[in-house]
Chains A and B, each alone.
Chain A
Amino acid sequence: MADENWKPKIIAIICNWCSYAGADLAGGARIQYPPDIRAVRVMCTGRVDPLFILKAFQDGADGVLVSGCHFGDCHYLEGNYKAAKRMFLLKSVLKNIGLDDKRLRMTFVSASEGAKWGTVMTDVVKTINELGPSPLTEVAR
């Protein structure tokens, strides 16, 4: 297992309209969650090219979160459906290359779900802590 000082490196690619706003709402409400996740904002999860995620794992990410609007709630009608399909496919690719597919997660958090954002953050960090460092970390270094 990893050494005691290991901290997970997790990147979250989140949509501007729902999850980013939900994350801001969690801030306004001072909902506390673990500080291990760094966010990249895109306008829609539909923007997320699976290659971004593979690049993140190649760079040594221990986990990747993609978070968008609830189905039917997408600011751009259906970007989140398309993202979800891609993530589903990508998970099987990850499995094939020997990476636990739990390291990639897609969630749906609306602009009014600050508390849910906190729960998602806590849960993602917990999952990655259980999985330990990515086997690709050594390759990345």
Chain B
Amino acid sequence: MAEDKYKEARIGVFLCHCGTNIAGTIDIDAVREYAKTIPNVVVVDNYAYMCSTPGQNKIADAIKEQNLTGIVVAACTPRLHEPTFRNATAAGGLNPFRFEMANIRDQNSWVHMHQPEEATEKAKDAVRIAVAKASLLEDLIPKSVPVEKTAMVVGGGVGGMQAALDLADAGIKTYLVEKSPTIGGRMSQLDKTFPTLDCSQCILTPKMVDVYRNKNIELLTYTEVEAVEGYIGNFDVTLRKKARGVLTPAEAEARGIVGGGCTGCGDCAEVCPVIKPNPFELGMAPRKAIYIYHPQVSPLIYTVDFDSCVKCGLCVESCGDKKAIDLDAKDELITVKVGTAILALGYDIYPIEKKFEWGYKNYDNVITSLEFERLICASGPTGGHLIRPSDGETPKRIAFVLCAGSRDNTDTGKPYCSRFCCMYSLKHAHQIIEKIPGAVPYIFYMDIRSFGKMYEEFYYRIQNEGAKFIRGRVANITEDPVTKNLHVNAEDTLLGRPIDMEVDMVVLAAAIQPSAETEKTRRLFGVSCSQDGWLLEAHPKLNPCGTTTAGVYLAGVCQGPKDIPDTVAQAEGAASAASIPIHKGEVELEPYFAVCLEDKCAGCGMCVYQCPYSALSLVEKDGRTVMHVTEAKCKGCGTCGGFCPGGAIWMQHFASPQIVAQIDAFLLGGEQ
């Protein structure tokens, strides 16, 4: 069958110069003349930019004039322009899946820039390999599937909240999943925001309330993603609602407790005998075993920490008729169906104690910037009075160490810029000048990166307010064992001299890293990550919100360090992108699914165990057992086709004869 098809093939080959990107290395004329000699090739053409309108027209015209059965474009990479050339193929009246691309730029001219002859030979081979496949390609019809008109946002920080609000306001029912008992994220831990000096909570809490009140948002706090199945338009997400031990008014009503459920009064926490550090205050304030993080939480529902609860029952007693507390609560698994999902997983602070030379966790008065935020915040553990942890005194000389763990190529650092530390350290400098008379901030920096709108102006303002700037990374910090003062040792690289400065407190602008849940969650959703663990966008410039998994989008720092304005902007972009398939109502899936060649199938069933999606099953047909493919479940990986001992599985577009033809074309084709 394949041989007949191969003989009848009429292939057009189109070579792209890509300006000088390709033609500057590869001898296009030589490849063109060579391509004319390849079996089945009936037309060869070349053009400066095949992706341009004239280039695409060449393809469409040639199909009509030469009655072509397959198209090969030798150009950049199918990951960039396969859709373009498929459209051009379709414009000529040919099925778009009769197109094959030869990668002669990204995997040839750009990586063999100084070996033009070898690169030209490689391009000839690549064209020959592509022609062999194109000769055997078939018409394929993409299947359309309906899209579930709901969305999910994972992560309830400012990015996740913004994305959920946008989706909900566009009329889409949205599940907002947050692992902790409240939404708000990192931003709710901050005191002020640069460069406007807006109070962080003041601008955040209205959004938290909006999220809680929005009828299209189903808020699922204290919930984690457990499993994800399906594909764009039809994700089945299993969620673990962790045992909260406290009923909301709605849950209480469902249990027949009239007028019951948690009102957030706090009587339970008052009587609870267990005291634990509050993670929201980074352990600098206590909380009980039944707790809320802070007074502005949303939803205002208490949570039992079952790891520390001693089940004395005092809280149940104090709750009285509201009967909100259930100390026998168990985790609950629920499954929701969504069309698209946005990951807004946020970040964690890098464990800066790994940079032992700065003595964090060793010296009392060395703190991180996030601890500084809590200490300077009016709602924080000290009521906004910055104090030295060692003696409770107000510090006067405060050193800020920038790039603490960022821009650091050693084993104990992160190579990237964490992007907002410069700006928040400037803000910190302003805050101590404002709050503590006579206090002087000393900022040890490598470069001040104040790149955003009104950021540079803010930098000037802080300079004028009296902050001292010393260009140099801090080598080490030592502690005076008596006074607990700190000696900061650095080189002032502008003056070219070493510095030993005695200060009362050191604030480390620690690097950030992907949040602890990022790795697990990204794997559930099938999203790739970069070497640093930040989630990988579909294209760094042209698709910064998308991922390579259709229907899954990214918002905020989980994609890479960014400040609040950029996070919110990306969240709005992701919400827009995630709403498109939902509003469209259906999506086309690439028709790469498996087909059983029933005359060859022996019904052994080995393939059934290979399929990771349970798409294959054995059925009785005409008195014998054969394999059956559930197309909606098949994602086209071909794992079954790579295993079938009888060659009975036809992987559309990547069929065995097509792949073998490519192998033969490379290794034998040149000599036929």
Contact = CB atoms under 8 A, between A and B. Distances in A.
A42 B78 CA distance: 12
A40 B642 contact: no
A55 B114 CA distance: 33
A49 interface: yes
A111 B528 contact: yes
B106 A9 contact: no
B107 A43 contact: no
Contacts of A56: 663, 667
Nearest to B534: A112
Interface in B90-117: 103, 105-108, 110-115
B536 A111 contact: yes
A42 B656 CA distance: 11
Contacts of B478: none
Nearest to B117: A35
B641 interface: yes
A72 B80 CA distance: 26
B637 A47 contact: yes
Contacts of A16: 79
Contacts of A106: none
A79 B110 contact: no
A118 B656 CA distance: 28
Interface string A41-69: 11110111111100110011100000001
Given A47-B639, A111-B528, A78 B612 contact: yes
B664 A112 contact: no
B638 A46 contact: yes
A49 B641 contact: yes
Contacts of B129: 38, 40
A14 B531 CA distance: 20
A100 interface: no
A30 interface: yes
A28 B106 contact: yes
A27 interface: yes
Contact of B637 (A11, A73, A79, A140): A79
A124 interface: no
A119 interface: no
Nearest to A21: B79
Contacts of B111: 26-27, 30-33, 35, 118
B667 to A, nearest CB: 4
B664 A59 contact: yes
A121 to B, nearest CB: 8
A13 B612 CA distance: 21
A55 B660 contact: yes
A28 B663 CA distance: 26
Given A27-B105, A78-B612, A42 B638 contact: yes
Interface string A93-137: 000000000000000001111000010000000000000000000
A43 B668 contact: no
A9 B667 CA distance: 7
Interface string B618-649: 00000000000000000111110111000000
Given A35-B115, A77-B612, A112-B530, A44 B638 contact: yes
Nearest to A70: B528
Contacts of A112: 528-531, 536
A17 B122 contact: no
B608 interface: no
Contacts of B663: 11, 40, 52, 55-56, 59, 61
B122 A35 contact: yes
A76 B639 contact: yes
B637 A27 contact: no
Contacts of A51: 656
Contacts of A28: 106, 110
Contacts of A27: 77, 105-108, 110-111
Given A23-B107, A27-B110, A38-B122, A59 B667 contact: yes
Interface in B327-385: none
A24 B77 CA distance: 7
B639 A44 contact: yes
A131 B601 CA distance: 40
Contacts of B273: none
A24 B79 contact: yes
A141 to B, nearest CB: 8
B523 interface: yes
Contacts of B503: none
A111 B78 CA distance: 14
Contacts of A43: 592, 636-638, 654
B543 interface: no
A78 B659 CA distance: 21
B107 A111 contact: no
A40 B635 CA distance: 20
Given A38-B666, A55-B660, A112-B530, A32 B113 contact: yes
Contact of A41 (B78, B118, B536, B592): B78
Given A18-B528, A73-B528, A23 B659 contact: no
Contacts of A11: 663, 666-667
A73 B108 contact: no
B79 A20 contact: yes
Contacts of A79: 612, 637-639
A83 to B, nearest CB: 7
Interface string A75-90: 1111100110010000
B548 A111 contact: yes
A112 B548 CA distance: 12
Contacts of B83: none
A57 B467 CA distance: 70
B639 A49 contact: no
Contacts of B637: 43-44, 46-47, 75-76, 79
B313 interface: no
A34 to B, nearest CB: 8
B140 to A, nearest CB: 14
Contacts of A38: 122, 125-126, 129, 666
B477 to A, nearest CB: 34
Contact of B642 (A49, A55, A72, A118): A49
Contacts of B528: 17-18, 69, 73, 110-112
Given A24-B103, A28-B110, 4 more contacts: A28-B106, A38-B125, A43-B638, A112-B528
17 contacts: A11-B667, A21-B79, A27-B77, A30-B111, A33-B111, A40-B129, A40-B662, A42-B654, A43-B637, A46-B639, A52-B656, A52-B659, A55-B660, A75-B637, A77-B526, A79-B612, A82-B643
Closest 6 CB pairs of A and B: A47-B638, A46-B639, A27-B106, A76-B637, A59-B667, A27-B110
